[in-house]
Structure 1
Amino acid sequence: MAGCYLPVTVIETHDEHPPKDTPATSSPLRTCNRVDCTRRYDQITQLATHNAFAWADDGPVHYKKPNQMYPVWKQLDRGVRGLGLRPSPHFTLTDTDPHDVYVTHNTDLRGALGQEPLVNVLHQVRAFLENNPSEIVTIFAESSVSPEAVARSFEEANLTDYLYTHTPGTQWPALGAMVLVNQRLVVFNDSQDPNRPAWQHYLWDFVVDTDFNVSNSDQFSCGFYRGKASNDLYFINHFVYKDDAGILMPDPALAVRANQATVVYERAKDCWHRTKRNPNFVYIDWFGLGGALDAVDSLNELPRGTTP
């Protein structure tokens, strides 16, 4: 697939912007990420979006075969707390620029499905964190650039002060504790580069996920796919691909069924029962279709330490 690509027009700015800053409240914190702030990071279920940056084709970047219907800032504003990103080189018609970090959802296609600077996405994350001082955001990076290059984009977006670093083998903090020290951005990266900064946690040392090779929601499973079963966080891939001329692509029609609240809730609850692992993230396409967030809220009402 490496030689199959089309020219892509990249627009550097977004036509929609986060709302202006809202005044901070002086009242005691009660809710973080839609749950009680005393809950630990690893004790809750959060909704995450697959290829979160690749939103519908009326956006400022023409993403062919988009995964989402809203820009990142609106996903966050409406309740998403995990973002799947794919840091990549900047693909041009003749070469790649090793100094620019972009996002695109298939590096083999060299940006043919759409690409934009990673910092554009990170600016939206920073605005959300600034405007919502009791919220924690998690980024899952499937990266084809160096961790140092990724770090430069975070620095450019002025996100460094928000970064949380977890010590392996220790207990995850309560959400309120993360809020108190303002370390409200958790980053996982699948790069195994030994020079990876500590805040870019190696994804498969912390996360175990389910199979993502699904072309029919009847194929959803609960078994562990990548990462060790003992890893801290259980991640449920809950999106369905459509085979498009041999290339697996997202499809909103398939997401309508997959994202139904009852489908998400019953699958996650069944996986919890089967694996004895509390689902920490449910990873979807086409947030806004179906009721996945309602399902996540219902899951968070179930007691931890037991299986449903």
Structure 2
Amino acid sequence: MRFLSIVPFVGAALAACNGHDDLCDRKYSNITFVGSHNSAFVGVIPVHNQYKTVTEQLDLGVRFLQAQTQDKDGEIEMCHTSCVELDEGPLTQYLQEVADWMDDNPDEVVTLLLTNIDGISVTKFDDAFNSTGLKDYVFHPEKKMALDEWPTLQKLLDDGTRLIVFMDYNMDESQVDYIISEFDYFWETPFGETDSDFPTCDVDRPENGDPTELMGLMNHMLNYDVLGIAIPNQVDADETNSDESIQKQVDLCVGQWGRKPNVILLDWINIGDAFGMQLSLNGL
């Protein structure tokens, strides 16, 4: 099911600023985005997290893409936990898909969150962004910004800096200034939840992360625990991604920290009520 009737962010025919004029004057840090967890891992077996391709995810309305990278013989590959478990090809292939979509959709602000558990040199990531043309769109922060110092979506569009790039670990902003430290700007709820009630909005990362000073990323992905390994729960995706389930955890966060999360990270993004919630949480 494509939810095209309620998609808030699809195509140049709609209003500017991710499909809504009302978002133009909002700071990036004052918007809630539905995010695609492990956006590169598309399929139906247990190591996959999405049913739709990256292009299809963007067409649906996703504007926050999270993806895992790993080192494979000196190259950056899109691998799930290890390249033996699942290898979806080179980073450049993934970035080219994003670049092609952004070329065709000039009024859209997109965010990438990349993992770098293997500590690959950030200059290699820079080469990949450059080779695909995505570097032409990236946002270069002039300093470490407080919550209220982020630009508006309109400013990002006007400046041609409509791709925000975060990395979880092993970035080096002195070498590549547009690949930004995730935990300078975000805190996250715990990952690998197996309780369908999603009973917590505690800060899991970074240690001592302050929700009054950082944007919040709410991990809302349900898993099975198989011998200590978190396996994505596809069967209950419709319930997990329902407005009731998402809103319940959002309310927990608001009650605990006084503000909504900025990202609701989901598996199987095309299942459930994700895009209706994206509208609702932004007051649209």
TM bucket (normalised to shorter chain) is: 0.7 to 0.9
Query: Could you list the runs of 5+ residues in structure 2 that have no partner in the other structure?
Result: 1-10
Q: 1:134 to 1:189 in 2, by over 3 A?
A: same
Bigger proportion of residues as helix: 2
Q: Which amino acid aligns with 2:253?
A: C
Could you give the per-residue CA deviations for residues 32-83 of structure 1, whole angstroms, max 9, x where no partner exists? 35452111101110011110000114xxxxx752100001110011011111
2:165 is aligned with 1:187: yes
> 3-state DSSP class of the match of 2:35?
strand
Q: 1:196 to 1:243 in 2, by over 3 A?
A: farther
Counterpart of 1:82?
Answer: 64
In the superposition, the TM-score normalised over structure 2's length comes to 0.86
Query: Could you list the runs of 5+ residues in structure 1 that have no partner in the other structure?
Result: 1-22, 58-62, 91-96, 303-308
Query: Per-residue deviation at 1:173?
Result: 0.5
Q: 1:199 to 1:33 in 2, by over 3 A?
A: farther
Q: 1:156 to 1:295 in 2, by over 3 A?
A: same
Give distance in 1, aligned partners of 2:17 and 2:155. Answer: 12
Counterpart of 1:32?
Answer: 18
2:36 to 30, 35, 49: 49
1:135 to 84, 108, 119: 108
Could you give the per-residue CA deviations for residues 153-190 of structure 1, whole angstroms, max 9, x where no partner exists? 11121111100022213500010110111111101112
Counterpart of 1:284?
Answer: 266
Query: Per-residue deviation at 1:152?
Result: 1.4
> 3-state DSSP class of the match of 2:87?
coil
Query: Per-residue deviation at 1:269?
Result: 3.1
Q: Which amino acid aligns with 1:66?
A: H
Q: 1:140 to 1:300 in 2, by over 3 A?
A: same
How many residue pairs end up in the alignment? Answer: 265
8 Å CA contact retained: 2:122, 2:170: no
C-alpha root-mean-square deviation of aligned residues, in Å? 2.3
Counterpart of 1:4?
Answer: none
Give distance in 2, aligned partners of 1:262 and 1:279. Answer: 16
Counterpart of 1:73?
Answer: 55
In the superposition, the TM-score normalised over structure 1's length comes to 0.79
Query: Per-residue deviation at 1:242?
Result: 1.4
Counterpart of 2:250?
Answer: 268
8 Å CA contact retained: 1:223, 1:275: no
8 Å CA contact retained: 2:12, 2:107: no
Q: Which amino acid aligns with 1:189?
A: M
Query: Per-residue deviation at 1:136?
Result: 0.7
8 Å CA contact retained: 1:146, 1:191: no
Counterpart of 1:217?
Answer: 196
Q: What fraction of aligned residue pairs are identical, expressed as a percent?
A: 27
Counterpart of 1:233?
Answer: 215
8 Å CA contact retained: 2:37, 2:65: yes
Counterpart of 1:105?
Answer: 80
8 Å CA contact retained: 1:242, 1:250: yes
Give distance in 2, aligned partners of 1:36 and 1:219. Answer: 29
Greater Cα radius of gyration, structure 1 or 2: 1
> 3-state DSSP class of the match of 1:297?
helix
8 Å CA contact retained: 2:78, 2:89: yes
Give distance in 2, aligned partners of 1:193 and 1:281. Answer: 21
Give distance in 2, aligned partners of 1:200 and 1:137. Answer: 14
Q: Which amino acid aligns with 1:183?
A: T
Give distance in 2, aligned partners of 1:75 and 1:238. Answer: 17
2:135 is aligned with 1:154: no
Give distance in 2, aligned partners of 1:257 and 1:208. Answer: 25
